[in-house]
Amino acid sequence: MTTIYFIRHAEPDYTNHNDRERPLTQKGKVDSKSVTQYLSDKNIDMVLSSPYTRAVETIKDFADSFGYPILIVEAFRERKVDSIWIEDFNKFTEMQWNDFDYKLSDGECLREVQNRNIDALMQVLREYGNNNIVIGSHGTALSTIINYFEPAYGFEDFQRIRDIMPWIVKLSFQGDKLIHMEKIEGLT
């Protein structure tokens, strides 16, 4: 059996508009310690992450505390919205959840994000199966993974988790078949 703990990052500093380099706020850094506490008795074998700073920073305390290197997997990155800052992000997000192929001129649609993240997940299952694995992730990327396994998971579900940071989703696999999913809230 393979158990994967997807860790949605802690609170990011939205004053930094560079999506890739956006760090955690001070609250986010403090809250990342709850991730360490939660994972401390899970017999983790390896730690992977999206390359984005906020995802790495959220799992760094855990990785450092237990001596794990963080393997960066580019494909687990968050969705690219566009090259410009989107002011009405709620409306944009709803449009994307209502049409998985909707995207702005320099962005990704949710179908592309989902395909990229599921391909990366299946690669992890092939390469590192039968381990307990942590993956630093993002709200939208993780939500598209959930939607892949639970197609009814949609915009309203995404809205419910929007402000839950950090957030953990535990997936258990037999080979590449999902056998259990648990959404863990209330870390902070």
pLDDT of residue 188: 66
pLDDT of residue 13: 96
Domain ranges of the chain: 2-73+83-171
pLDDT of residue 139: 95
Architecture of domain 2-73+83-171: 3-Layer(aba) Sandwich (3.40)
What number of other Cβ atoms are within 10 A of residue 2's Cβ?
19
Q: For the chain, how long is the longest CA-to-CA vector?
A: 45
Write down the pTM of the prediction: 0.95
What number of other Cβ atoms are within 10 A of residue 149's Cβ?
11
Q: Distance between CA 16 and CA 23 in Å, rounded?
A: 8
pLDDT of residue 186: 77
Residue 166: asked if its preceding bond is cis (omega within 30°), the reply is yes
Q: At residue 85, what is the residue type? A: W
pLDDT of residue 19: 86
pLDDT above 90 (res 185): no
Angle at CA of residue 177, ends 181 and 148, nearest 5°:
60
Give the chain's mean pLDDT: 95
What is the dihedral sign for C-alpha 108, 110, 115, 116? positive
Question: Can you read off the two tokens belonging to residue 93?
Answer: 């997000």
